């Protein structure tokens, strides 16, 4: 499948913003805004596709299928959450090959114990660093192209402290990770320390209501981050709009005087490709 490389879009002193998408409508909408990278959020995909918490309940099959569909329609390189690799080393190899074949530009693997949890929720535990090093080595060896990037995430900060998280980041970089993701720093000072510690591209996770302060893109670039993902912004905004609209509908019995903006129906049909369907029918059905 076609894949737009992510690496050429990374530059030191500049931070790439990757908004999160969780389904195909969100992917189509994001395409309208000239985005340079897309992030397939595990939290959002699990919630929207399965109605379940991001707690290790989604299977590789479910996630790679959603990744393939998002990559098919995204106009920008897709960074995809792949949890812990869905098992042992053989599973990691299978996951990397599957995500690469699906058209993903970069895969995110984390060092949590299975079943994993969302990085901004309590109770996360990490595997030994040496075990994650092997996962990264397998991941790097399993890809068919160096354009397919490996993002190594450590969740050690919350349970073991920042020093251990930095130690793990260094080990994962040596193992072959292209991008480092030190999850859940709890202050701007911690983020600054992370930025000073590494020369590899760094990823910042900007979660509204999470543990890490949300900073402007220019400040993130100053700190040494080259990618900022916003996994929750889209689905949190969607949830708020749905909640308000559904409350209005059930209270008033009508969508008249809706208290939230409503996307124009005609515009959405255009984005989803209905004009192409109509053109096909004019050529092949109406002339039959």
Residue 243 maps to a domain: no
CA angle at 213 for the pair 199 and 237, rounded to the nearest 5°: 115
Please state the length of the chain: 288
Residue 9: both structure tokens together:
């879009």
In a domain, 2, yes or no: no
In a domain, 279, yes or no: yes
To the nearest 5 percent, what fractions of the chain are helix, strand and coil? Answer: 45, 15, 40
CB 45 within 8 Å of CB 22: yes
Residue (of 167, 199, 186, 228) closest to 15 by Cα position = 228
**223 & 105 share domain:** yes
Assigned token pair, 138: 């397998």
Q: Is residue 1 part of a domain?
A: no
Q: pLDDT per position in the chain (288 positions), as tens?
A: 567 899 999 988 899 999 999 999 999 999 999 999 999 999 999 999 999 998 888 899 999 999 999 999 999 999 999 999 999 999 999 999 999 999 999 999 999 987 776 656 666 899 999 999 999 999 999 999 999 999 999 999 999 999 999 999 999 999 999 999 999 999 999 999 999 999 999 999 999 999 999 999 999 999 999 999 999 999 999 999 999 999 999 999 999 999 999 999 999 999 999 999 999 999 998 776
What domain range includes position 102? 7-238
Whether residue 275 sits in one domain with residue 226: no
Q: Answer whether residue 245 is part of any domain.
A: no
CATH code of the domain containing 65: 3.20.20.60
Residue 250 lies in a domain: no
Tell me if 47 is assigned to some domain: yes
Q: What span, in angstroms and rounded, lies between the C-alpha atoms of 191 and 180?
A: 13
In the chain, the number of structural domains is: 2
Pair 216, 154 in one domain: yes
| Tokens standing for residue 65 | 């299928």
């Amino acid at each position: 499948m076609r894949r737009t490389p992510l690496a050429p879009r990374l530059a030191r002193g500049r931070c790439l913003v990757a908004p999160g998408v969780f389904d195909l409508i969100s992917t189509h909408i994001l395409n309208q805004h000239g985005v340079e990278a897309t992030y397939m959020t595990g939290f959002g995909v699990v919630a929207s596709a399965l109605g379940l918490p991001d707690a290790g309940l989604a299977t590789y099959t479910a996630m790679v299928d959603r990744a393939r569909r998002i990559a098919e329609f995204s106009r920008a390189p897709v960074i995809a959450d792949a949890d812990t690799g869905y098992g042992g080393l053989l599973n990691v190899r299978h996951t990397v090959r599957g995500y690469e074949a699906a058209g993903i530009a970069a895969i995110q693997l984390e060092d949590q114990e299975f079943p994993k949890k969302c990085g901004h929720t309590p109770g996360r535990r990490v595997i030994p660093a040496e075990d994650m090093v092997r996962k990264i080595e397998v991941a790097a060896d399993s890809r068919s192209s160096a354009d397919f990037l490996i993002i190594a995430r450590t969740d050690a900060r919350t349970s073991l402290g920042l020093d251990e998280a930095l130690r793990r980041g260094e080990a994962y970089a040596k193992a072959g990770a292209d991008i480092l993701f030190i999850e859940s720093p709890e202050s701007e000072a911690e983020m600054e320390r992370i930025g000073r510690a590494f020369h590899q591209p760094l990823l910042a996770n900007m979660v509204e209501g999470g543990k890490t302060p949300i900073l402007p893109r220019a400040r993130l670039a100053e700190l040494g981050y080259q990618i900022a993902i916003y996994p929750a912004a889209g689905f949190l905004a969607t949830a708020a709009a749905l909640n308000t609209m559904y409350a209005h509908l059930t209270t008033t019995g009508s969508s008249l005087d809706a208290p939230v903006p409503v996307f124009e129906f005609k515009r959405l049909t255009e984005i989803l490709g209905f004009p192409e369907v109509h053109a096909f029918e004019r050529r092949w059905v109406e002339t039959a």
